[in-house]
Structure 1
Amino acid sequence: MNIIVLGAGIAGLTTAYCLARDGHDVTVVDREHGPARGASYANGGQLSYSYVAPLAGPGALRDLPLWLLDRNSPLRFHPRLDPHQWRWCLQFLAACTGRQSRRATERLLDLSLYSRALLEEFVARTELDFSHSRTGKLVVYSSEKSFQGAVAQMRYQERFGCVQHAMDAAECLTIEPSLSRIRDRLVGGIFTPSEQAADCHRFCVGLEALLRAEPYTVKFAYGLAASRFVCDRERVLALETDQGAIEADAYVLAFGTGSRALAGTAGIDLPIYPLKGYSISVAVRAAAASPAVSVTDYARKIVYAPLGDRLRVAGMADIVGYGRDMDEQRLALLIREARAAFPDVSDYRQVEPWCGLRPATPTSMPILGPTKFPNLLLNVGHGALGFTLAMGSARVVGDLVAGRRPAISLQGFSLPSLAATSAGLVPAS
């Protein structure tokens, strides 16, 4: 089957990989001139398979007033004259219940653990160098209340196969001695030995090179701006671009935050809004001073990921629209926190700054699978979990295209108006 995948980020490239392995003729279309130029470029770097609880939850509802009043809070909201922004925010607030949060966590754990297994299979088959490490993740807490909440969540997740360990402050320092500079604010932590870290951009660059070669021979149409789907009542007929229309038997939309506008041309309303995130990458000048495991500061919502000879520091979730401009205050906050936590890693005078728009749904659940058109499928809305959920999401889409039953249930991952299964795709005659 001739299939167009829209998007050359982590979602699009892993989808292309799964489709090409099934023998399809795949073309990846992206307006950028290379892979992973959007949210996949310099994300947090943590593959957090056991930390997929949605942003919307009772805790977020409780903390929201304080976040909105604090200019240095991990979440910032700039209201705009955009009905979609307000509708998304109202849907987010509606999802901040314990019941919905637990249900979303269960479904996301199902997908994330499936993704982890598939990534391990991929790594065993290939020789990609993407600064991949399996040293685990330590989430540290500064208040007894938040720590006890994390312990309760840890015990809840045990039934789903998550292996995690609660630790006091001294044990946290044993796991990660480089945290000694902030020992005074440590109450405890949760350590997950199976968590990983990796460079998403390097993974995408390596995967693209793999896909260009035999036996996959995937084609890449870069610098092509898609404007709309051409549809009849039953299916998508073509994709209109700034360089003319292109046709395929099937289309997979994996365009990140651009997916909503393009889906709208086919009469499909996607509940996706960008959450703007920031990161800095610094060269490690003293390995002993840099964390060997991934570290998350829960109170500050900042993550630290060791990526070979670099340290990635990332955070923020700003609901500020579609602008890609760099907020120097947010970057300064990341540098200040990194310097306080790990002062000897770098002098932090030379950092690689980045910001990106993460395509998020109000529930943090990605949207996978069929639309009202049988030859248009979705792989969108992963928020900050794009790298973590990529392999599983791509395999689900590949299975649906082939008419196979996915290994995990699609309950909660489909558009609300659609059934959670697909009978497969049949090329147009």
Structure 2
Amino acid sequence: MHVCVLGAGIVGLATAWQLERQGHQVTVIDRAAPGSGASGGNGAQLSYSYVQPLADPSIWKQLPKLLLSSASPLKLRPQLDPLQWRWGMEFLAACNARTSRDTTARLLELAASSRIEFEAMRAELSPDCDFSATGKLVLHASAASLEGARAQLELQRRMGSEQRLVTPEECVAIEPALASYRDRMAGAVYTPSECAADCLKVCTELTKALGARGVRFITGTDVRGFVRSGRRIAAVHTGSGDVEADAFVMALGSASHKLGRALGAYLPVYPLKGYSITVDVDPAPGAAPRVNVTDSARKVVFARIGSRLRVAGMAELVGHDASIPATRIETLAAATRALFPHASRLEELHPWTGMRPATPKGLPIIGRLESAPSNMLFNTGHGALGFTLAFGSALRVAQALKT
């Protein structure tokens, strides 16, 4: 079967990988180079066992501060955009304990599958991607915040995750680079099995491997529409002409909503804009972290990728605004100086922004939809967990194609 994958981010490339391994002829289409969208400078963490969805009951108490503070990691800029308002209302409706618990269970199941498939890819390709498996610390600044994390920890532990609460002293023992920050944290959630890698490098390695196996890449061209044939799609319109296939997979991230609407399908996918910096680290022992670290108060993540440190954070509902305000980059630099003052001179920050394709509940849209053509499958809406979930969701798409 000839399958056309729309999108060459980590989700689209993982989908192409699974489909090619199952014997399909595959074409990948994207308007940009593989991995250059939301995958290019993401947080680099592979968070297989700590998947707390953004839609959580705690959002209600945090909402005034998150929306009104100029330094807030969450920012909303209301627009004349029906999707933004509809998405926002659906997101708030999902901020309850029952929905959060169900979402957590489903994400953990998908993440466990994704870990297996990612490791299978690594075993086969041995990609140069700065992979590490050093665990993760989620830091909490107050006893109340740490206690609030206990419920999520217990929920995830009952579902099979290996996690525990640790004291500030234990945090420093696990990650010595946190020594100067010890007195400013109440403790952390420690997950020893978590990993990290450079997602852009994974995308580059996958592209090379897939090209060598006969996968066709059409890049630098937009998907503009579809040629319909009854309940099926015969071809996609692109800037380079029509591309025919037997089946199609939409993995276009935050662009999925618009094209889904052209097919008669409602895809509640809205861009959550995030930022990152990538800095060279001081190689001295204990200067820069090797363990993944998440600062829950600042909503900033740190991941070691080779001789560099990736620092990422923020979630802005501002549409498709690709500008990079200097204040946001300074926020990430300030967080780095606060937690890891000896990690880097911060001479070159390599600022980046990307649009995480998020659904209100935090669950990706995978497989067929009744409202869409029968030979169109979807793999979109992974939010901040795109890298983590990519290979598991790709497997589900490949399995759905058989039915």
The TM tier, using the shorter chain, reads over 0.9
Off by >6 Å, runs of 4+ in structure 1: none
Q: In structure 2, what is the Cα distance between the partners aligned to 1:368 and 1:62?
A: 32
Given that 2:50 and 2:156 are in contact with CA atoms closer than 8 Å, whether structure 1 keeps it comes out as no
Match of 1:353, as an amino acid? P
Task: Report deviation, 1:51.
Answer: 1.7
Given that 2:2 and 2:26 are in contact with CA atoms closer than 8 Å, whether structure 1 keeps it comes out as yes
Which residue does 2:242 correspond to in 1? 245
Given that 1:230 and 1:266 are in contact with CA atoms closer than 8 Å, whether structure 2 keeps it comes out as no
Say which of 258, 267, 277 aligns to 2:264.
267
Higher relative contact order (CA 8 A, sep 6+): 2
Task: Report deviation, 1:320.
Answer: 0.6
Where structure 1 has 5 or more consecutive residues not aligned to the other structure, the ranges are 404-423, 425-429
Percent identity over the alignment is: 49
Which secondary structure state, in structure 2, belongs to the residue aligned with residue 345 of structure 1?
coil
Which residue does 1:291 correspond to in 2? 289
Alignment of 1:21 with 2:18, yes or no, is no
Q: In structure 1, what is the Cα distance between the partners aligned to 2:384 and 2:366?
A: 16
Task: Report deviation, 1:233.
Answer: 3.4
Given that 2:50 and 2:191 are in contact with CA atoms closer than 8 Å, whether structure 1 keeps it comes out as no
Q: In structure 1, what is the Cα distance between the partners aligned to 2:353 and 2:48?
A: 23
Which residue does 1:37 correspond to in 2? 36
Give CA-to-partner distance per residue, 1:269-288, whole Å, 9 cap, x none: 11010000000000112342
Give CA-to-partner distance per residue, 1:48-85, whole Å, 9 cap, x none: 11121210111112101111111111100111111110
Give CA-to-partner distance per residue, 1:198-247, whole Å, 9 cap, x none: 0000000001101111xx31010011111112224311121011222111
Task: Report deviation, 1:91.
Answer: 0.4
With 176-185 and 88-97 compared, the bigger mean Cα shift is at 176-185
Which secondary structure state, in structure 1, belongs to the residue aligned with residue 106 of structure 2?
helix
Which residue does 2:169 correspond to in 1? 170
Which residue does 1:112 correspond to in 2? 111
Given that 1:286 and 1:344 are in contact with CA atoms closer than 8 Å, whether structure 2 keeps it comes out as no
Length, aligned pairs only: 400
Q: In structure 2, what is the Cα distance between the partners aligned to 1:199 and 1:345?
A: 19
Given that 2:283 and 2:307 are in contact with CA atoms closer than 8 Å, whether structure 1 keeps it comes out as no
Task: Report deviation, 1:333.
Answer: 0.6
Q: In structure 2, what is the Cα distance between the partners aligned to 1:123 and 1:151?
A: 33
Q: In structure 2, what is the Cα distance between the partners aligned to 1:211 and 1:280?
A: 29
Q: In structure 2, what is the Cα distance between the partners aligned to 1:396 and 1:5?
A: 14
Q: In structure 2, what is the Cα distance between the partners aligned to 1:80 and 1:358?
A: 18
- Alpha-carbon RMSD across the aligned residues, in angstroms, is 1.0
Where structure 2 has 5 or more consecutive residues not aligned to the other structure, the ranges are none
Structure-2-length-normalised TM-score: 0.97
Q: In structure 1, what is the Cα distance between the partners aligned to 2:209 and 2:227?
A: 31
Given that 1:260 and 1:270 are in contact with CA atoms closer than 8 Å, whether structure 2 keeps it comes out as yes
Given that 2:29 and 2:217 are in contact with CA atoms closer than 8 Å, whether structure 1 keeps it comes out as yes
Q: In structure 1, what is the Cα distance between the partners aligned to 2:154 and 2:311?
A: 28
Given that 1:286 and 1:346 are in contact with CA atoms closer than 8 Å, whether structure 2 keeps it comes out as no
Task: Report deviation, 1:257.
Answer: 0.8
Task: Report deviation, 1:339.
Answer: 1.2
Q: In structure 2, what is the Cα distance between the partners aligned to 1:133 and 1:81?
A: 43
Q: In structure 2, what is the Cα distance between the partners aligned to 1:287 and 1:42?
A: 25
Structure-1-length-normalised TM-score: 0.92
Say which of 311, 318, 323 aligns to 1:325.
323
Task: Report deviation, 1:290.
Answer: 0.4
Which residue does 2:186 correspond to in 1? 187
Given that 1:5 and 1:12 are in contact with CA atoms closer than 8 Å, whether structure 2 keeps it comes out as yes
Which secondary structure state, in structure 1, belongs to the residue aligned with residue 120 of structure 2?
helix
Which residue does 1:412 correspond to in 2? none
Task: Report deviation, 1:186.
Answer: 1.1
Match of 1:13, as an amino acid? L
Alignment of 1:258 with 2:260, yes or no, is no
Which residue does 1:416 correspond to in 2? none
Q: In structure 2, what is the Cα distance between the partners aligned to 1:143 and 1:326?
A: 31
